[in-house]
Homo-oligomer: A and B are copies of this chain.
Amino acid sequence: MKSKIRLYVDHPLGDGQAVTLTREQAHYLFGVMRLTVGSQIAMFNGTDGEWLADITQAGKRGGEVFCGQQSAPLRMPPDVWLCFAPIKKARIQYIVEKAVEMGVRRIVPMMTEYTNSERIRPERLQAHAIEAAEQCGATYVPQVAPLVRFDALLATMKDRHLLFCDEAEAGEARGFEKARVSEADPWSILIGPEGGFSPDERAKLQNLPNTQTLSLGPRILRAETAAVAALTLWQMQFGDWT
């Protein structure tokens, strides 16, 4: 039941393409996973789909693989962004991982009034997104955007539907208003911090013409749980789960 190793590479992929491995990749493949010359892996780079590749050189500090046939085309997730307010480190990593598994186009950390963690490291989070893509079979890796203030973010999303998961609505059933939505419309899902959005932020969201409110049951969900729940409902309604 051991599945083939999937490796993300920052390199063009195509028929007969040779790819030089970095030191970290060589360490992982040959040191950790004990692969040798002749082993086969799967590679993807976020744009060229997934390719089967044979290891042709294996060293301690590098190596080379050679692309054979394409094993999967590029499969873009639907045009939905996950916007979340940074929380504890381990849970941010989970949110990024879950966003990739669930299938989003972009991951946007946002600074809200009640956000009490201002330090995020987008390059670390990007590495988590890559790992999650390697693990879940995705051929696309969503970009983790730099931290942006709530107001500035809203200003950049005027052309997107906003799905606002409102803690204050807990227990009030709310579905999607499908009437106003066309198939390929872009969306953003907004998940607030612990304590939710501030009254001012809630008012701003509710007054926008492009906002839809969703309630996620009578219990208070942690941010990473709310992200998965909201993305589940969205993917089933508008995305690539249907």
Chain A contact residues: over half helix, strand or loop, or mixed?
Answer: loop
Q: Which of B3, B97, B101, B217 contacts A103 (CB 8 A)?
A: B217
Is A225 an interface position by the 8 A CB rule? yes
Which size class do A's interface residues fall under? 35 or more
Cβ–Cβ contact B1 & A218, under 8 A: no
Q: Which residues of B contact A222 (CB under 8 A)?
A: 97, 101, 135-136
Is A162 an interface position by the 8 A CB rule? no
Q: Which of B136, B216, B228 contacts A229 (CB 8 A)?
A: B228
Q: Which of B225, B235, B240 contacts A98 (CB 8 A)?
A: B225
- Closest Cβ of chain B to A165, distance in Å, is 12
CA separation between A138 and B102, bound complex, in Å?
26
Nearest 7 pairs between A and B by C-beta?
Answer: A217-B241, A1-B195, A228-B228, A232-B232, A229-B232, A136-B219, A137-B220
Q: Mark A194-237, 1 if CB is under 8 A from B, else 0.
A: 01000000000000000000011111111001001100110110
